[in-house]
Amino acid sequence: MSLRNIGHRLYQGEVSFDFVGKRKIWYSISGIIVLVAAIGLAMGLHLGIEFKGGSVYTVQKPGLSISQAQDAADKITGDSTAQVQKTGDGKIRIQVSSEEKVSGPAFSLALSKDLGVEAKNIDAQVIGPSWGQQISQKALLGLVIFMVLVTIYMAIAFEWRMALAALVALIHDLLITIGVYALVGFEVTPGTVIGFLTILGYSLYDTVVVFDTVKENTRGITKQNKVTYSEAANLGLNQTLVRSINTTVVALLPVAALLFIGGGLLGAGTLNDISLALFIGLAAGAYSSICVATPLLAQLKEQTPEMRALAKRVAQRRAADAKAAAEAAENGTEAQDDQESPAMVGQRNQPVGKARSKGRPSGKR
């Protein structure tokens, strides 16, 4: 069966996955993932020099490897805290935090001697801690403003329950992405912040599409007694399921190429900053829009008095329909038994009366 046929059957309701009904399972999975991410976050993020201050040294030398530059940087600082990456143009980028006691000119001079590079081929940039603190504050402020605007928009365009469910899904995606960053030890840079904001926008977009379908399916739902709100919401989720999977896969393919091929195989470490955030965030956003946002919305709506009354009417109707079906089946069985009861118990043997032989010749003479 092709994916197109599955999507059509999902949209028509011929095939359905009970995401809303199994929300406790999804909540448990999300809770475990968020807990692991929180543990990683408690261990601390590896902030780049843009946030904590430090120095950046860009070395240009043909044939210079990352391991050679790392050994030279470790020898100068006396530890292994220096971060060495290869840029896209073949240069080596060495980052030294402001916590190191080696001054910029002294580090450049020692690096020039150890690597055999002329001082003019080493580009040194110093970033103060105060500038990094300003970047951190502005990034956090931008994130808060984004969350507030999203909540206001969702509350106006849909309703406050949808806004709350979408906000929980966004926080869920953000915690998972930041936690993964902390666990793998990737450096947090301004590119990482851009990736965070990008995945939040993508997650919100996917959630809004699902909520719009749910809104269409539940319009005037209290005027009938056939389906509950959770069932209508689950139908809307299934109708957009294939679309969500398609858009997620299409978005993940180029990001995976940046992360695993560009950053992993080709060694372009600068791509890892934004590509990891996008990869984890896109996957978490697709999961949260399906397994977190919509089930949470249905749970919040089912607690309202009108939806409770609807669920009661639906249960009563289904009980009445089941009773009627059972009685019909029983009556049908009885009628079938009556039809199958034998009308004849056998062929009656007619007794030969004595009178029949009177007056008849016996055949004897």
Average pLDDT of the chain?
Answer: 79
Residue 248 — pLDDT band, cuts 50, 70, 90?
confident
List, for residues 172-226, the tens digit of each pLDDT value. 988 888 888 888 877 777 777 777 878 888 888 888 888 989 998 888 888 888 8
Question: In the chain, which residues fall in CATH 3.30.70?
Answer: 54-127
Q: Which two tokens stand for residue 4?
A: 């197109």
pLDDT of residue 116: 81
The answer to whether the beta carbons of residues 272 and 317 sit under 8 Å apart is: no
Evaluate if residue 53 carries a pLDDT over 70: yes
Pick 337 or 148 by higher pLDDT: 148
Question: In the chain, which residues fall in CATH 1.20.1640.10?
Answer: 3-47+132-303
Evaluate if residue 99 carries a pLDDT over 70: no
d(CA 214, CA 231): 10
Residue 208 CB-half CA count within 13 A: 14
Global pTM reads 0.73
* Listed range (9-13, 184-188, 244-248) with the worst mean pLDDT: 9-13
pLDDT of residue 247: 84
CA trace torsion 152, 158, 162, 167 (10° rounding): -30
The CATH architecture of the domain made up of 3-47+132-303 is Up-down Bundle (1.20)
Query: Regarding the domain delimited by 54-127, which CATH topology (the fold level of the hierarchy) does it fall under?
Result: Alpha-Beta Plaits (3.30.70)
pLDDT of residue 345: 45
Pick 119 or 252 by higher pLDDT: 252
d(CA 34, CA 78): 37
Over pLDDT 70: what percentage of the chain?
A: 79
Q: Which two tokens stand for residue 79?
A: 């530890």
Pick 97 or 101 by higher pLDDT: 97
Q: Which residues contact 233 (CB under 8 A, 6 or more apart)?
A: 20, 214, 217, 218, 294, 297, 298, 301
Evaluate if residue 21 carries a pLDDT over 60: yes
The percent of the chain in helix, strand and coil, each rounded to the nearest 5, is 70, 5, 20
DSSP 287-302: HHIIIIIHHHHHHHHH
pLDDT of residue 356: 47
Q: What is the mean pLDDT of residues 302-317?
A: 91
* Listed range (24-28, 70-74, 261-265, 353-357) with the worst mean pLDDT: 353-357
C-alpha triplet 58, 60, 61: angle, nearest 5° = 140
* Listed range (66-70, 238-242, 331-335) with the worst mean pLDDT: 331-335
